[in-house]
Structure 1
Amino acid sequence: MLVGLAGFLEMTDSAAAPRLSSWSVVLMFCMLLGPVWASACPSQCLCTSDLLSCTALDLDQVPVVLPVFTVTLDLNHNRIMQLEEESFEGLPRLEMLRLAHNQLTKIQPGAFRNSSGPLLRHLDLSSNQLMVLEQHYFQDLPGLQELLLFNNRIVRVETGALDALRNLHKVYLSHNLLTNFPFFSIQKHSHPNLSMLDLSSNRLPKLPLKDISNLPQLVKEGLYLHNNSLVCDCSMYSLFRFWEKQDFASVRFFRQEHVCLVYGIQRGVQFFLYSRFFDKCNLMGMKEQKGNVSVTAGEPLLLHCITSLSRTSTTFFWLAPNSEYVVPPGNNGSLKMFPNGSLEIVAAREEDSGIYLCMAQDQDHNETREVKVTVLRHEGEAHEHFNTGFTTLLGCVVSLLLVLMYLYLTPCRCPKHRPPTTVTLSRGKEARPGSAQSSILTPTPPLTTEGPGRKVSTNKHVVFLEPIREQQNGRLRAGPGLLLGVEPQQRAGETDSYVSVFSDTPILLP
């Protein structure tokens, strides 16, 4: 076949051969390549473009010979019981692998070796008979984004089963037989893109509240736990109530499917609809997830050290507001610390208010968390603040009334009536009462108007004027504040003029 292809190319390059159109060349190339593709396509399978479909063919193993150009491989609805080593060897372009509805019970080490590990992004293993997710199953698939494992018989997920899947976005583990799950293995630095973890319809009896609280926020928002065999307790109830207030989709869309088991009741209780079973629960756990918490004086308070580090090899310590280091088991009795990093304030006091700093550290990383604690003196402290403010306002009003009474209601001690004082101006003329003696402030410079043909003086700016006290040698003698930098002037033969500083209109004195 290759010899024929070479001969065809020689023929098209020769000058004697007729010129063929580009479409004729493409058609001839496809005709020659067709037998190659057909020979690689397994019997009874459908090979089209980059899709290889071998569904419902009663296969008991993965075909040995597979087209190298396969991007999507569909092996659904067969009888494949296990994946052997290098079952998908020679598929460098494989991106989607579907193995749903088979009888898989085991995946041998290296099953995905020599395949397109970094490119494979979708793996469907749903509706099989897998019982344990072992650590080596997916270690050759670092680019995997979606992992479908629902409707199996999985009873256990090993701690490191998902560690190699750093690009993982969604994991579907619903409808299995799980009684626990290694939540502590899901960390922000190990799974930064994980946004959905479906563990619904399993047999989880109790939730590790501390480990779930340490999950990355993106994982918590996409964590589905409905239809499990949860035992009704306050910690479980407070967790889901907190998620309800945060409007997580897992609660919003499956509100009625959240059930728990109460002692003496055979059927599960829909605790979102029947909350009377939790009337005595202290829901402080809902506040502990936030950075600011408050507690009434005398009551206990539990603070959690929220961290993304694995709890198996992590050490914790707290720094109290008074710069006191706290490590397990605590200090002299007012603060207790547990090995998992939680700190308990046994009986809150007002001096316990402030910023509490938690430090978590392992061999490679360290993280810190701040929690602001406010200790309230009693339940009605908010009303006390209002009363204090009202009292202050009332005091200000009373003080203002007293000032007004002092200004307007105090009796006026008026001096005895005295005859008006006459002041002789220069040349022996007397100044009539009024004007200068009663003038104090002047908003505008006074104008001195003189007779016909006389000039107007504009350089006399009176700022503060006191009454004239005496005469000396026929001239005016001003008080200390008569004029600032200006002396009274009067020319010979001019008509005396007197100006009121409260009027812009000159007043002529005869």
Structure 2
Amino acid sequence: MLCAQGVAAPLMLSSLLLQLVRANLPSGCLIASDILSCTNLGLDQVPEELPVMVATLDFNHNRLERLEEGGFAGLPNLDTVRLAHNQLSRLTPGTFRNTSNIRHLDLSSNQLNIIEEHYFQELVGIKELLLYNNQIVRVESKALSGLSNLQKAYLSHNRLTDFPFFSIQEHANLTTLDLSSNRMPNLPVKDIEALKEKIQNGLFLHNNSLICECSMYGLFKQWEYRGFTSVTDFWEEHTCLIYGEQRAMVRFLKHVRYFENCKIKPPVKKISMEAYAGDSVMLDCITSLKGKHLNYSWVTKTYGYIAPPFSNNMLQMHPNGSLEILAVQTNDSGVYLCMVQNHQESSNDSLEVNVTVHTRRQDSEPFNTGFTTLLGCVVSLILVLMYLFLTPCRCWCRKQPIPATPNLANECSAQSSILTPTPPATEGPGRKMCQSRPAVTQQAPEIWTTRAFPQ
């Protein structure tokens, strides 16, 4: 009975604590494991007391107008906060104090106007930030610069007219930045080109109010040529305004004739190849240009400028523009630039091939040495086993008397012992001779015979 009471006491205490927690939460909130959901309850503020063990807070679809300073402090397991579809217009300084464990924050579909520097500075571990469908007109330069773990940021469907691209140049983990459906008329092309390639690949800028001009067009054409997701997934949504007129909107990736007079640096596609010394390597000049009047040429650090017809004992250039290295060597490693021109259409293209040549000996010698050592050990072991078990004489250690009369068979057996103080004479190594001896008239002492080993 006492044992049963001892077990029931903690259960009753746990149930009481749970009831107390529920008593401090608004009616309609649900607790499931480490998730607290208080959605669509018409709340105008976050409850002051929250369960300590909670990891996910969901207050979507309420009427929250402000968040109190330190309102989420004291929740060591807090990972996800969902505050979408509320009426938040700004964040109080210190809102996310002592919440460095938050990884996902959803503030979408609110009324935020300016993303100030202090909003997210405590969220050093944030990975995903959702700010789309607000009324944001400006993002301050240091608002995102300290979020080194940030991977995805969504700011589409706002009122941004510019963005501090220079503030995210050092972000090592950022792969997605959605700035689509805003009001940006111009882009700082140089700042964008200075971003890491993986950021450019996930930088979405479609459905803005971009004014048609050559540098903007050249940026997106390079992204298109390199197959960046930000362009290929929304190819027709990339639009610009001719002379800034809203009525003169054009899908500039689809209708390229508006940019025929632009002197655009041809995009350079880059590929890498690996080969072993002595192999024949074919460098294909891949191009998007079509037609029968294409002129190919190559530029290499070792052989310089190469144009057809060209052939020697080292290189051979084929009619389709491919360059073959007949027996590549380690000093042939480097960048090979292929240039293609179509003089009739005044268009050109280029391709960089980065060739890395390895030496086979460096890869095979450690294996050969190890294999030889292992093979030597195996052969030695086999020889030892043959020596121990495959000798011609199989005489096992046993006790036997020497007969009184000469017996050639027993004498051979006795003479074969390697433990005999005076070993018998033999003829030739490993060969034993049995010689006649005078008869013994008295009882001979017993001796121990063992297995004979070759001499």
Class of the TM-score when normalised by the shorter of the 2 chains: 0.5 to 0.7
Task: Indicate conservation of the 8 Å contact 2:161/2:183, yes or no.
Answer: yes
Q: Secondary structure at the match of 1:31?
A: helix
Give the distance between the partners of 2:87 and 2:76, measured in 1 at CA: 26
Question: Which residue matches 1:186?
Answer: 168
Q: 2:201 aligned with 1:221, yes or no?
A: yes
The structure with the larger Rg is: 1
* Mapping of residues 135-214 of structure 1, within 5 Å: 135-188=117-170, 191-214=171-194
Shift of 1:35: 2.6
* Mapping of residues 384-399 of structure 1, within 5 Å: 386=309
Task: Indicate conservation of the 8 Å contact 1:230/1:261, yes or no.
Answer: yes
Question: Which residue matches 1:272?
Answer: 253
Give the distance between the partners of 2:207 and 2:6, measured in 1 at CA: 62
Structure 1, 252-261 or 17-26: larger mean CA deviation: 17-26
Shift of 1:212: 0.4
Amino acid at match of 1:203: R
Structure 1, 120-129 or 64-73: larger mean CA deviation: 64-73
* Mapping of residues 425-436 of structure 1, within 5 Å: none
Shift of 1:20: 3.7
> For the structure 1 residues 83 and 35, does the alpha-carbon distance in structure 2 shift closer, same or farther, using more than 3 Å as the test?
closer
Q: Secondary structure at the match of 1:250?
A: helix
Shift of 1:252: 1.2
Identity between Structure 1 and Structure 2 (%): 52
Task: Indicate conservation of the 8 Å contact 1:55/1:78, yes or no.
Answer: yes
Structure 1, 59-68 or 136-145: larger mean CA deviation: 59-68
Give the distance between the partners of 2:183 and 2:2, measured in 1 at CA: 75
Task: Indicate conservation of the 8 Å contact 2:126/2:150, yes or no.
Answer: yes
CA RMSD of aligned residues (A): 3.1
* Mapping of residues 377-456 of structure 1, within 5 Å: 382-383=307-308, 386=309
Question: Which residue matches 1:34?
Answer: 18
Amino acid at match of 2:149: N
Task: Indicate conservation of the 8 Å contact 2:44/2:63, yes or no.
Answer: yes
Give the distance between the partners of 1:111 and 1:387, measured in 2 at CA: 70
Task: Indicate conservation of the 8 Å contact 1:239/1:285, yes or no.
Answer: no
Question: Which residue matches 1:423?
Answer: none
Give the distance between the partners of 1:32 and 1:84, measured in 2 at CA: 28
Shift of 1:27: 4.5
Task: Indicate conservation of the 8 Å contact 2:225/2:267, yes or no.
Answer: no
Shift of 1:192: 1.0
Give the distance between the partners of 2:310 and 2:266, measured in 1 at CA: 32
Shift of 1:205: 0.8
The structure 2 residue matched to 1:58, chosen from 35, 39, 42, is 42
Task: Indicate conservation of the 8 Å contact 1:122/1:146, yes or no.
Answer: yes
Question: Which residue matches 1:244?
Answer: 224
> For the structure 1 residues 273 and 59, does the alpha-carbon distance in structure 2 shift closer, same or farther, using more than 3 Å as the test?
same
Deviations 1:60-115 (A, max 9, x none): 2221121112111111111111222112232222111111111111101101113x
Report the TM-score, using the length of structure 2 for normalisation: 0.58
The structure 1 residue matched to 2:233, chosen from 246, 253, 268, is 253
Q: 2:267 aligned with 1:286, yes or no?
A: yes
Q: 2:54 aligned with 1:129, yes or no?
A: no
Q: Secondary structure at the match of 1:218?
A: helix
Give the distance between the partners of 2:178 and 2:167, measured in 1 at CA: 15
* Mapping of residues 366-377 of structure 1, within 5 Å: none
> For the structure 1 residues 61 and 32, does the alpha-carbon distance in structure 2 shift closer, same or farther, using more than 3 Å as the test?
closer
Q: Report which structure shows greater RCO (CA 8 Å, sep ≥6).
A: 2
Q: Secondary structure at the match of 2:242?
A: coil
Q: Secondary structure at the match of 2:231?
A: helix
Q: Secondary structure at the match of 1:82?
A: coil
> For the structure 1 residues 195 and 265, does the alpha-carbon distance in structure 2 shift closer, same or farther, using more than 3 Å as the test?
closer
Q: 2:77 aligned with 1:77, yes or no?
A: no
> For the structure 1 residues 265 and 49, does the alpha-carbon distance in structure 2 shift closer, same or farther, using more than 3 Å as the test?
closer
Gaps of at least 5 residues in structure 1 are: 1-16, 292-353, 356-371, 394-510
Give the distance between the partners of 2:47 and 2:11, measured in 1 at CA: 30
Task: Indicate conservation of the 8 Å contact 1:42/1:66, yes or no.
Answer: no
Q: Secondary structure at the match of 1:281?
A: coil
Q: 2:89 aligned with 1:101, yes or no?
A: no
> For the structure 1 residues 388 and 280, does the alpha-carbon distance in structure 2 shift closer, same or farther, using more than 3 Å as the test?
farther
Report the TM-score, using the length of structure 1 for normalisation: 0.52
